[in-house]
Amino acid sequence: MSNYLIELSIIHTVLIIGYWFFLRKELQYSKMRFYLLGSTFLAIIIPLLKLPKFFFSSNEMIYAIPMEAAPVNAMTIVASDNSTFFNYDFLLWIYLGISVIFLFKFLSGVIHLIKLERKSSYELFNDTFIRKVHDIEGSFTFFNWIFLSDEIDKNQEGYHAILKHEKAHAAMGHTYDLIFFELFKVCFWWLPTVWFINKEIKKIHEYQADAHVLKSYDINQYSSILISSTLKTNGLSLASSFHDGLIFKRLKAMKKQAKNVSSWKLGVLGSLCAILFVVFACSEELGQETNEILTENPTTKSIAEAEVFTVVEEHPEFIGGINAFYEYLSNEIKYPKEARLNGIEGSVNVEFVVEKDGSISEVKAVKGIGSGCDIEAERVLKNAPLFKPGVQRGKPVRVKMSIPIVFKIDGNKTNSDKSPQGIIVVNEVESKNMKLKIDASFNNGAWSGTVYDEEGKGLPGASIVVVGTTTGTVSDLDGTFKVSTNESNDLHISFVGYESVKLAGN
């Protein structure tokens, strides 16, 4: 969501700056109106063109974060600290609250106009239906409804010009523009260009209506009518009015001779739109093509996978809370009878991927103890309820996670079949008071190496984090890892049940 808002604001700001430099002082009002509408529409649409449902393929990056050790009762996960100063939920509620206020104001304006229409009296003048209202000043138009104050007499000078002006607003569909830009303001009220275009489009509407009237009236005569009319607005932002406060600008614009917009200006603005489309809408498609190339080249793919293990901005969360997740595991996992009879106990480290829809996939026990314990741990995780998916840069992503499940034998208790009773401890192990064994080196802009356990075997799922950053990875099945960073950066390497190791950079 935040990514969409940023891109929309950049696109709209750039396009409106282009309008300011190249079109603002032109007299081709139809082109100016079209540009304001088109640029706003493009700003809304272009960021949407690269949503995952359009371009993302199945060959997606997996962001990996380990679930660190925590007692069952504590129900905590130690991962990289992604806490921020701002409470984004609170900011979101403020954003929505202000939008609701503007929406209420918009709807109130529509309701007020409907009430005016209902209490107005109809009058037919030269095949034109006019709605006369006694508690308004001047005249205005809403869709095809033309409202006139009952103080405006049909015998007064300029009555025909006023009606012609208001009929021009109705015929050109100016109300649709106003509603579109008002709703745009409701959604994106914080954007400065929103307020500018709402003022600019009303000015253009009046210029267009004036130009239409001047086809039938002499400019001096029409100017005299404008000056002698009541120059007060009715305060309705959704209505177009002859009696508008832009009187001096309108008089000045009428005296200028309209010229075609220079072709080079149109070319510059068209190129600007094309560049923004390529930059913001096509980048995702190019990214997809890159993924396809990586898929075809296994060597390149392995390097890419080593570098995409970056801590995500929002970690996956079990729906119902982490406490509910641990409770689910503790209740569902059964200590296999074979393991209990043979006295098999130990930790099973299970890796799994939380998909973009929150489902669990690719469940695998990467370090197990056999005797049915690995299979049982995999079974329960495969059947786990949905997670809230992880989020990176405002988009759901696939996140690889790992969790150690400890099987322990309680020799003091037995089951009904005389077999020893088993204890399942989720995400809890005793400290071995031993350090991880690391064989690592820095070459070509990346740390690479292997993490070993106390027996000298490759340790999968170890967490490797670049100190002072949110960049990191986890060791592969054979304990190897690779992470891009500077040679001066330290690495923090940890695994459940082991003392952490810090590799000092040069």
Residue-wise pLDDT for 1-42, tens only, equals 677 888 999 999 999 999 999 999 898 999 999 999 999 999
Beta carbons of 475 and 459 less than 8 angstroms apart: yes
Regarding the domain with residue range 59-81+319-429, which homologous superfamily does it belong to in the CATH classification? TonB (3.30.2420.10)
pLDDT higher than 80, residue 203: yes
Three-state secondary structure call for residue 249 = helix
Q: Which two tokens stand for residue 105?
A: 């104001």
- Which of 2.60.40.1120, 2.130.10.10, 3.40.50.150, 2.170.190.11 would CATH assign to domain 430-506? 2.60.40.1120
Beta carbons of 164 and 213 less than 8 angstroms apart: yes
Q: Which of 67-76, 85-94, 203-212, 264-273 has the lowest mean pLDDT?
A: 67-76
**Rounded CA separation 37/197 (Å):** 9
Beta carbons of 327 and 411 less than 8 angstroms apart: no
Quickly count: other Cβ atoms within 10 Å of residue 4's Cβ: 15
**Rounded CA separation 62/362 (Å):** 12
pLDDT higher than 60, residue 452: yes
pLDDT higher than 60, residue 294: no
The pLDDT score that the predictor gives to residue 84 is 43
pLDDT higher than 70, residue 131: yes
Beta carbons of 174 and 203 less than 8 angstroms apart: no
Mean pLDDT for the chain?
76
**Rounded CA separation 79/311 (Å):** 9
User: Any alpha helices (H) in 188-319, and if so which ranges?
Assistant: 192-213, 219-228, 247-255, 263-281, 283-296, 298-307
Give the mean model confidence (pLDDT) for residues 124-145. 85
One-letter amino acid at 447 equals W
Q: Which residues contact 241 (CB under 8 A, 6 or more apart)?
A: 138, 139, 140, 141, 233, 234
Instruction: From residue 323, give the alpha-carbon distance in Å to each of 72, 75, 207.
Output: 8, 5, 64
pLDDT higher than 50, residue 429: no
What own/partner pairs with CB < 8 Å and gap ≥ 24 does 156-161 have?
157/225, 157/228, 158/225, 158/228, 158/229, 161/213, 161/217, 161/222, 161/225
Give the mean model confidence (pLDDT) for residues 432-456. 78
Q: Which residues contact 270 (CB under 8 A, 6 or more apart)?
A: none
H or E element in which residue 146 lies: strand 145-149
The pLDDT score that the predictor gives to residue 85 is 45
Name, of 63-77, 97-111, 435-449, the range with top average pLDDT.
97-111
Tracing tokens 């609250």 back to the chain, one arrives at 97
Residue 134 pLDDT level (bands cut at 50, 70, 90): confident
Q: Sketch the domain layout of the chain as residue ranges.
A: 1-50+268-296, 59-81+319-429, 84-261, 430-506
Q: Among residues 112, 227, 219, 212, which one has the least CA distance to residue 172? A: 212
**Rounded CA separation 270/18 (Å):** 10
pTM: 0.52
Residue 231 pLDDT level (bands cut at 50, 70, 90): very low
What is the sign of the dihedral through the CA atoms of 392, 396, 399 and 405?
positive
Q: What percentage of the chain carries pLDDT values higher than 70?
A: 75
